[in-house]
Amino acid sequence: MQFAAAGALGAGSSGLMPQIAKAAAEIKSQGRHCVLLWMSGGPSQIDTFDMKPDHANGGSLKEAATAVPGLRFSEHLPGLAKQADSLAILRGLSTKEGDHERGTVLMRTGHIPGGPVMYPSIGCSLSKELGSAEAELPSYVSIAPSAFARASIRPGFLGPKHAATSVAAAADPTGNEFARLRVDFLEQDKSVTRDRRVDRLKLWRQMQDDFAAKRGTENVLAQNTVYESALRMLDSDAKDAFDLSTESDKVRAAYGRESFGQGCLMARRLIERGVPLVEVTLGNGLAWDTHADNFAQVRRLSEQLDAGWCTLMTELRDRGLLERTTILWAGEFGRTPVINRNGGRDHFPQAFSCVLAGGGIAGGQVYGATNESGMEVSDGKMDQQDLLSTLCKALGVSPATENIAEGGRPIAIAEGESVDEVLS
């Protein structure tokens, strides 16, 4: 379903201010980037991007018009509504995994968990194609991953050198503070002098060389590469991308004070410095797992989502980076259209939504549909492999690109049918 274009949007229509233009001119990265906004717990499609206001399943939340005529979604996403011409909403997702961990692995690797093959996450596969071994920063950064996501961001048969670097998050603040994000190995003990660090590094390298000489397997050598990359980052100014204290309080507040908003700000800083793949998780643990009190929880989470995602797109656009950055909003499954007796919605992989935005995406449209009750996909049905194939194409990566698994078996990044209608 293609809607008419909306024209200039308020969030990005102010033009390039001189300081923004200067910053854009200084951006070193000329590659493609991907941001995965992961909604841990399974977000409710019927309360966000596929609302049913005329049906009993619709619930108490209201939908609203957007900047694209005919395209409507939750009133609690007003910032995204102003940028709807950058969004392609996919309403026909359908899988067969309703368990959190298994569904997370399925959506992020494309494969049902289990079996002899350790499939890599899509983040690892894409960062391998888009990244550079000589870069000062990691090719794949995962910000505030939930416990259920950790198993699904592993590099699998690609090996440890393609693993994600995790950024941990403290509990969200209760006052006016900003959530604290940290990369553990960047927080050095200040009581250790520089000379002691140099001596430790020499000893470590000697031990590593001795071990590699005796047991220099491919995985051992790959792990050494990971360590060397971390050390290179420690000695580089590029690590300042992880330091949000250099941003003004006004900018930080625009993203939202919680870990998701601050993670979106960190994503912008990492993309500016050339990191190809960044993911940000919204939901400490399983925040979107709204089996009870669904509507209040979705309202609160939507406000965080709107602030972080909207501001991220605005700042990427102002810096000339949005056209090279593809954003995917997704979770492990959706929620039941039928409201349970606790005012909640349960797991529902049969029919749910994802959203693509930014570079490579023809925005301002909806692809696929569910029936009037939201219980079934009525048009444009697609599965996780179709979604991942579409994401690959948006980033200029062939889904058919093969990597060699254990035993010499070639395996494509994704094996689905891409939805070319949403690609620009």
Sign of the alpha-carbon dihedral angle for 296, 67, 86, 416: positive
SS3 of the chain: helix, strand, coil, percent, to 5: 40, 15, 40
Question: Contact 143/181 with Cβ under 8 angstroms?
Answer: yes
Architecture of domain 29-188+239-422: 3-Layer(aba) Sandwich (3.40)
Residue 176 CB partners (closer than 8 Å, separation 6+): 257
- Describe the crossing of helices 100-109 and 384-394 by its angle, rounded to 10 degrees: 40
- Cα R_g (the chain), whole angstroms: 22
Asked whether the whole model's pTM tops 0.85, one would answer yes
Mean pLDDT of the chain: 88
pLDDT of residue 170: 78
Mean pLDDT confidence for 262-278? 97
pLDDT tens per residue across span 312-324? 999 999 999 999 9
Look up residue 198 and give its amino acid. Answer: V
* CA–CA distances in Å: residue 406 to residues 110, 158, 183, 409: 18, 9, 31, 7
pLDDT tens per residue across span 9-58? 334 434 444 444 444 434 333 479 999 999 999 999 999 999 999 999 99
Three-state secondary structure call for residue 79: helix
- Describe the crossing of helices 259-272 and 294-318 by its angle, rounded to 10 degrees: 20
- When pLDDT is cut at 50, 70 and 90, the band that residue 104 belongs to is very high
* CA–CA distances in Å: residue 416 to residues 12, 94, 346, 388, 412: 34, 13, 27, 7, 10
Q: Rounded distance, CA 168 to CA 170, Å?
A: 7
Among 329, 353, 359, which residue's Cα sits nearest to residue 423?
359
Among 10, 277, 304, 337, which residue's Cα sits nearest to residue 128?
277
Q: Rounded distance, CA 255 to CA 263, Å?
A: 9
Q: Where are the beta strands (DSSP E) in 173-259?
A: 181-182
The better pLDDT of the pair 336, 135 is held by: 336
pLDDT of residue 239: 84
pLDDT tens per residue across span 142-174? 999 987 767 788 999 999 889 999 999 977 777
Least confident of 95-109, 226-240, 291-305, 318-332: 226-240
pLDDT tens per residue across span 207-224? 777 776 776 666 665 566
Sign of the alpha-carbon dihedral angle for 242, 246, 252, 257: positive
Q: What are phi and psi of 142, to 5 degrees?
A: -110, 115
Element (H, E) at 129: helix 122-130
Tokens of 418: 């891409």
Tokens of 101: 């961990």
Q: Is the pLDDT of residue 245 over 50?
A: yes
Q: Rounded distance, CA 288 to CA 330, Å?
A: 11
Q: Rounded distance, CA 188 to CA 254, Å?
A: 30
Domain ranges in the chain are: 29-188+239-422
Residue 349 CB partners (closer than 8 Å, separation 6+): 94, 95, 96, 97, 98, 103, 333, 334
Q: Is the pLDDT of residue 203 over 50?
A: yes
Q: What are phi and psi of 100, to 5 degrees?
A: -55, -55
